[in-house]
Amino acid sequence: MNQKYGGYLRKSSEAREKQALSRASQKEAIKNKFPELDIVWFEESRSAFEPNNRPEFSKMLNMGIDGELHGIIAWHPDRLSRNEIDAGDITYSIRKGMIKDLKFVSYTFENTPDGIKHLQNSLSDSQYYSSKLGVDVRRGLTDKLKMGRMPCLASIGYLNTKLATRGENKIIVDPKRFGLIRKMWDLMLTGNYSVPQIRDIATFEWGLLTSKKKKNGGCPMGYTSVYNMFANIFYTGQFIYKGKLYPGDHKLMITTAEYDRVQTLLKDRGNPRPKTHEFAYGCGAFKCGECGHSFVGIEKIKYIKSQQITKTYTLYLCGHKKSVIFCSQKYNMNEIKLEEQIREKLSKYKIDEEFLHWSLEVMKDNNIAEVLTEKDVKGSVMKTLESKQKELKKLIQMATKGFISDEEFKESRVELDGIINKMKGQLNETEGDKNDKLMELTEKVFYFSTYALIALQNGDKRIKKEIVKSLGMNRTIKDKKLSIEAFEWYEQIRKGYFSIREILSRYEPEIHSKQRTINDFPALRLLLRG
């Protein structure tokens, strides 16, 4: 049977790795040099400059240590490591015989003391050159910053271009938009226009659109973008990079004095830059049903030229990063469509307002003592406590006699101590505390079932998010379909409500009689007991 080798293929997206072969090229070179070997492939696009940063590398190394792999193959030692910690793991595993062999396409290794020493030197050289390259890159960036070359996308009114002679980026004037952006600054400097007014004039009267790119652009500026523009010192011929101010080599649009006046106008008018847009169903309200990442909200502006108006749409989509994980969910979920599905979920658990007031009245009059008695609760808790204390005593005896390992004892001891402490805490609670908590929970559930739909329709974004979270858990969206695992108490309401209504109808018109108790309505008692 052929001995298995782990074939490691790596190429990060960092600038310091530009000269390295692609993973496909590395794989082809390995197959050509070692056609006879049985190879299990491990691929990843991650930097080796930082330790403990490569899950595929760690997986391969562990398989080698566990004896599942005879050795490891790579194009060159620098594919395996560019840091001293990972390099130490490799050489230690070889020296101790946990990994039997290493093979490389462009490097010769012998599993001898001298061979291991040469390998250590090679890995150390890789770390040195990687660090040096990083320093050189930073030094080159610093030199470009001092020359006035901003290493970022140009602001609206300007364009990025490359110098034909040196291949360096340079920022030039956008002939289509430079004059229009200057006119927007002029309007602001008069002190007679607000930022929204200036944006609308530029859009509807002048026809200003952002520059068209491959996947975006070619649309009106958003209000937030205009605020950001008026706060951007770039237009004074300067730029900020990583908190430092640099003089730019691009053409200035306004003077520093004009910039300062605009900042004063914005401040005096009480028109600070708007906060980041908040979305009703963003920030963990829903997760992707495929990859588990949170859904995020985005705002899209559509310019309707025939009507000379813009329409704003709120959309939600999976927030995964393609570079980290693959997810096929490319659908945008319109907020209007999403709320339709939320309303459909809520309608399943809606109860009548009449029933709400009557049920709360009955519960208060009876103080729900029949639902959960102190004797029953404490008896059950005490029984559980005594059982767990016996288990703990037996566990200690087994550990003393050596029947279980120290690790098993510690793990079981922690679990049992947690349960015992919880039981003791429950015994210290008074019956009044339990009834108060149950009453509070019941009121919240019943009020939610009655008014959640109304609150969703009329509430603000914070309220809408709270409604969704209060309804249930495991809230996911997949293929534009919403899924929520409703909390158990809402399911009990859904299942028992109609039967309760049927019972209540028998007592009309004396439905609100205080002489009626929970004992008269078994379905309600069952619902509350849950």
Q: Is the pLDDT of residue 430 over 60?
A: no
Provide the 3-class DSSP secondary structure of residue 300: strand
Q: Which of 319, 311, 316 is nearest to 341 (CA)?
A: 316
In this prediction, residue 396 carries a pLDDT of 79
Tens-place pLDDT, residues 269-281: 654 444 456 788 8
Alpha helices in 34-177 (DSSP H): 55-65, 77-80, 84-95, 113-146
15, 51 contact by CB (below 8 A): no
Termini Cα distance of the chain: 61
Q: Where would I find the beta strands (DSSP E) of 320-407?
A: 333-334
Residues 6+ apart with CB under 8 A from 310: 203, 220, 301, 302, 303, 304
Q: Which residue has the higher pLDDT, 330 or 347?
A: 347
Tell me the pLDDT band of 137, cut-offs 50, 70 and 90: very low
Structure-token pair, residue 389: 């204390």
CB 296 within 8 A of CB 319: yes
- Looking at the predicted structure, is the pLDDT value of residue 366 above 60? no
Residue 275's pLDDT is 46
**Average pLDDT of 357-362?**
66
Judge whether residue 483 has pLDDT over 60.
Answer: yes
Taking the CA atoms of residue 67, residue 71, residue 75 and residue 79 in that order, the dihedral angle to the nearest 10 degrees is 40
Domains of the chain: 4-143 (3.40.50.1390), 158-268 (3.90.1750.20), 287-334 (no CATH), 354-529 (no CATH)
- Strand 4-10 with 38-44, pairing: parallel
Give the pLDDT score at 186: 92
Question: Which is more confidently placed, 41 or 279?
Answer: 41
- Residue 528 binned pLDDT confidence (cut-offs 50, 70, 90): very low
* Strand locations in 319-458 (E): 333-334
Q: What pLDDT was estimated at residue 185?
A: 94
| Mean pLDDT rounded to a whole number for the chain | 75
pLDDT at 224 over 80: yes
Residue 497 pLDDT: 64
Residue 122 has pLDDT above 90, yes or no: no
pLDDT bin (cut points 50, 70, 90) of residue 45 is confident
